[in-house]
A and B are shown apart, each in its own frame.
Chain A
Amino acid sequence: MLTAENLPRPPYKTYHEWYASQDAAHLIRKTQDAENIFRKTGITFAVYGHADSSEKLIPFDIIPRIISAREWRKLAQGIEQRVLALNAFLDDIYHKQEIIKAGRIPRALIERNVTFLPEMIGFKPPGGVYTHIVGTDIVRTGEDQFYVLEDNARTPSGVSYMLENRETMMQMFPELFTLNKVQRVEDYPRLLRQSLASLAPPGCKGRPRVAVLTPGIFNSAYYEHSFLADQMGVELVEGADLRVIDGRVKMRTTRGYEAIDVLYRRVDDDFLDPMTFRADSALGIPGIMDVYRAGNITIANAPGTGICDDKAIYSYMPEIVEFYTGRKALLENVPTWRCSEPDSLKYVLEHIEELVIKEVHGSGGYGMLVGPTASKKERTDFAEKLAARPDNYIAQPTLALSTVPIFVNKGIAPRHVDLRPYVLVSDKVKIIPGGLTRVALKQGSLVVNSSQGGGTKDTWVLED
């Protein structure tokens, strides 16, 4: 919030004045109010592996993160470029594979990747869109320095927190929204529905029927699934509600089976169709891939997009962006060592105490090592795993992440954050101004994942 001279950074100026006029006890009470709102509404998530704590609240911080219109425009351009490149990349690897032929990416990295789906080869999804909804994780290291930490092109989650955080802030501090002109995020559900409907299969007549597919109430993101279905005004379905009948995917209603045109699925590829993928999946719909390939349903995001989330693929993103857009990537990648390469592996093992090491298919902060804060034993154990399966890992330097203020009982304290803006892709790209800011609540920590004790805060993009 403050510059080196201890003055508020320009976007925080109005907020800072307001904050100075507030009574600390009042703000502590507001923090408690926020928690009650979340608990009452049932905005919870599940942490796997904790039998007793099946429903947890994500801690919410009442100080918004504020981004100026100028900063945002710059970011948005970079994100749009990246998202277009990702779609072009997916189209290419499932068709002509020019990027492989041009020698920019090793063939094995694509074709032997578990997230690469041979079933998608030669198939063009409706509208040519693969990733309808993308979340790009971004960190900041300096005034104008942004890095992309990872791409979430499969099923980015967290957008309900973006919306509920804003809702909560407006309920608690309405005056702040008069003092500051904050760009709207509330349109997201409507835009999502429009975007999904616009990519209905070509044969769809009338108003496309959209549904959200959830694994069910025990899934960690169930709240979000029900929230989005509710906000969009579409059915929330489970695999057991759906069946393939006469070449269409239909849902069982109280009046019989009715066809669905667009399925926003929050179920992983592996579980989508037990006839094509994992036979033991009870979450999916037998035969849906045949309907999909026949062009009778749109699946968002398309199966096989998960390869973009692969952290080894990530390391090639500068090449990917340049290859498909003809321009240098506007947003920088964090330098990444691919442990599959012997020289890199050697370097990583020698510098393990300086690096962050991640599984290529990992997510949610599981299965990673943060070298500088890990114990000696943790490092040694991890080095063994790394040496045994080098191609399962990448390593990155720990960045000097910028901090934002959070509210603690003693006042304000700096914490590290990242930012996940949400992007909708149809015939155009729409980026919601703001996104989900995740905070590492522990002092000095760099891990922001909610499953690892991170929190969230409202994110404001100011109007010009």
Chain B
Amino acid sequence: MLGRTANGLYWMFRYIERAENIARLVDAGLRVSLTRAGSSDEDWHGVLESAGVREAFSQVHTELTAADAIDYLLRDTSNPSSVMSCIEFGRNNARMVRTALTRETWEATNECWIDLKARLSRKLKQTDLPELIDVIKHRCGLIRGAFHGSMLRNDLYNFSRIGTFIERADNTSRILDVKYYVLLPAVSQVGSALDNFQWESILRSVSAHRSYGWVYDGEYQSANIADFLILKVQMPRSLAYCYEKITSNLDYLAQTYDERLKAHETAAAIRSTLKRGSISDIMDQGLHEFLEDFVSRNNQLSAEITEGYRFYQ
């Protein structure tokens, strides 16, 4: 397969994943603003930060309003991480690798683009938002489903999956990092209403507020939340789960191509950190430091895959 095709698949799935994650972030943000007494537009700072666009946002908007933040995150094409931009880039990558996709996967991607382009072409009204966010998640789910149900399990599949999980790991760690201070155990705040809110919003932004309850008997505890999102291998958006998937897909590639690259070592090392680590060690070491280090190693892995599999040259 062409290096450019591997690159196209990798980025197609990174962008689809990102679009969905941005939609979740907005969803969590909306939830906070609806349910929390005394919430203000300022709360959107955290959401913009988690999406990694706070700086860019402030360059186009002098003031922060909820409506502007939502617009920027969902439909502003000058924001390369807006849902619309992600879907546009994702679909462009899909067009580029059209021959590598099954008809089902391509059509799901193309229809997602057609539908969201129409919905995001006009200014959003607050009443439309819940439905819109559902549609984004639904459309992205259809792409994933078509992909799972129809693609051959070969190198094409592996590169697509690696793209998905590198992106997801990046997103989850960023969400945690932005809110890490919320998770720091500060005796005076534990159990306060403020914490519960913030904690729930973190869980909601990774669609985990229900599953958390099942795993940890419903008690919100900072260490448990961090444990869930970092180390719990059963949790499909946790860093540990992402790295199980990344290493297994990289291992398939190594088998198929009969060649192990630097990327394999890096991925294995990150996986073993996550497998062996305990949440108390991580908290002691400093959650922020841990996450910062993780994001940079995740990026390093992405660069090594890009180079090792000749994405560009």
Structural contact, B310 and A256, CB atoms closer than 8 A? yes
Structural contact, A230 and B4, CB atoms closer than 8 A? no
Instruction: Give the most central of B96, B114, B155: most A CB within 10 Å.
Output: B96
A255 to B257, CA, bound (A): 7
The residue on A at minimum CB distance from B113 is: A42
B251 CB–A CB distance under 8 Å = no
The residue on A at minimum CB distance from B108 is: A40
B 51-91 binary contact with A (CB < 8 Å = 1; else 0): 00000000000000000000000000000000000000000
| Given known A-B contacts A40-B107, A254-B155, A254-B257, A238 and B4 have beta carbons under 8 A apart | yes
Question: With a CB–CB cut-off of 8 A, which chain B residues contact A40?
Answer: 107, 110-111, 114
Interface residues of B in 83-106 (CB under 8 A from A): 92, 95-96, 98-99, 103, 106
Structural contact, B3 and A254, CB atoms closer than 8 A? yes
A241 CB–B CB distance under 8 Å = yes
Question: With a CB–CB cut-off of 8 A, which chain A residues contact B111?
Answer: 40
Number of residues from B at the complex interface, CB < 8 A: 25
Question: With a CB–CB cut-off of 8 A, which chain B residues contact A114?
Answer: none
Interface residues of A in 241-286 (CB under 8 A from B): 241, 251-256
A255 to B96, CA, bound (A): 20
- Set A222, A237, A240, A254: member contacting B6, Cβ < 8 A: A254
B313 CB–A CB distance under 8 Å = yes
Question: With a CB–CB cut-off of 8 A, which chain A residues contact B1?
Answer: 235, 253-254
Instruction: Give the most central of A41, A42, A241, A254: most B CB within 10 Å.
Output: A254
Structural contact, A254 and B309, CB atoms closer than 8 A? yes
Interface residues of A in 140-183 (CB under 8 A from B): none
Interface residues of A in 220-238 (CB under 8 A from B): 222, 226, 229-230, 235-238
Question: With a CB–CB cut-off of 8 A, which chain B residues contact A237?
Answer: 2
Question: With a CB–CB cut-off of 8 A, which chain B residues contact A251?
Answer: 2
B259 CB–A CB distance under 8 Å = yes
Interface of chain A: mostly helix, strand, loop or mixed: mixed
Name the distance in Å between A246's Cβ and chain B's nearest Cβ: 18
Structural contact, A253 and B99, CB atoms closer than 8 A? no
A216 to B155, CA, bound (A): 23
Instruction: Give the most central of A40, A41, A255, A256: most B CB within 10 Å.
Output: A255
A39 CB–B CB distance under 8 Å = yes
A412 CB–B CB distance under 8 Å = no
A217 CB–B CB distance under 8 Å = yes
Structural contact, B98 and A230, CB atoms closer than 8 A? yes
Structural contact, B313 and A252, CB atoms closer than 8 A? yes
Question: With a CB–CB cut-off of 8 A, which chain A residues contact B96?
Answer: 216-217
- Set A39, A222, A230, A254: member contacting B2, Cβ < 8 A: A254
Instruction: Give residues in B with beta carbon < 8 Å to A.
Output: 1-6, 92, 95-96, 98-99, 103, 106-107, 110-111, 114, 155, 159, 253, 257, 259, 309-310, 313
19 additional A-B residue pairs with CB within 8 Å, beyond A40-B111, A41-B110, A255-B257:
A40-B107, A40-B114, A41-B103, A42-B107, A216-B96, A235-B99, A236-B99, A237-B2, A241-B2, A241-B3, A241-B4, A251-B2, A252-B3, A252-B313, A253-B3, A254-B1, A254-B2, A254-B257, A256-B310
What 10 pairs across the A-B complex have the smallest Cβ distances? A226-B98, A230-B99, A254-B309, A252-B3, A42-B110, A229-B99, A217-B95, A236-B99, A254-B6, A255-B257
